A and B are shown apart, each in its own frame.
Chain A
Amino acid sequence: MTHNNVSLENGTEKFWSLHLDTFSMSLFLGFIFLFIFIRVAKKAKIENPGKFQLFIELIIDMVDSHVKDIYHYNKKSRLIVPLALTIFCWIFLMNLMDLLPVDLINFVNHRVGIPEAKWRIVASADVNATFAMSISVLFLIIFYSIKAKGFGGWIKELFSAPFGIAFAPINFIFQILELVAKPISLALRLFGNMYAGELIFILIALLPWSVQWLLGVPWAIFHILIITLQAYVFMVLTIVYLSLATESH
Chain B
Amino acid sequence: MEINVTIIGQIITFVILVLFTMKFVWPPLNKMLEERAKKIADGLAAAEKGKQELLNAESKVAEELKHVQLRATEIMSNAEKRANQIVTEAKDNATKEGNKILEDAKLQIEQEFMRAKEELRLKVATLVISGAEQILKAEINKERHELILANLKAEL
Contacts and interface: CB of A to CB of B under 8 A. Distances in A.
Contacts of A86: 14, 17-18, 21
A82 B22 contact: yes
Interface stretch (A40-48, A152-160, A166-174, A240-248): A40-48
Interface stretch (B33-41, B53-61, B79-87, B90-98): B33-41
A15 B18 contact: no
Contacts of A14: 2, 4
Contacts of A75: none
A38 B24 contact: yes
Given A15-B4, A37-B25, A136 B14 contact: yes
Contact of B21 (A45, A85, A129): A85
A8 B5 CA distance: 9
For the residues of A in contact with B, the DSSP-based class is helix
Contacts of A127: 1-3
A44 B28 contact: yes
B24 A132 contact: no
Contacts, number: 121
Interface residues of A, number: 46
A41 B28 contact: yes
B147 interface: no
Interface string A57-87: 1001100100000000000001101110110
Given A15-B5, A57-B33, A78-B22, A128 B28 contact: no
B134 interface: no
Given A8-B5, A14-B4, A82-B22, A128 B10 contact: yes
B30 to A, nearest CB: 7
Nearest to B21: A82
Contacts of B8: 132
A86 B10 CA distance: 13
B36 to A, nearest CB: 5
A184 B115 CA distance: 152
Contacts of A129: 6, 10
Interface of A: 8, 14-19, 22-23, 26-27, 30, 33-34, 37-38, 40-42, 44-47, 56-57, 60-61, 64, 78-79, 81-83, 85-86, 90, 126-129, 131-133, 135-136, 191
Given A19-B6, A56-B29, A132-B7, 9 more contacts: A34-B25, A38-B20, A78-B26, A82-B25, A83-B21, A85-B21, A85-B25, A132-B14, A135-B7
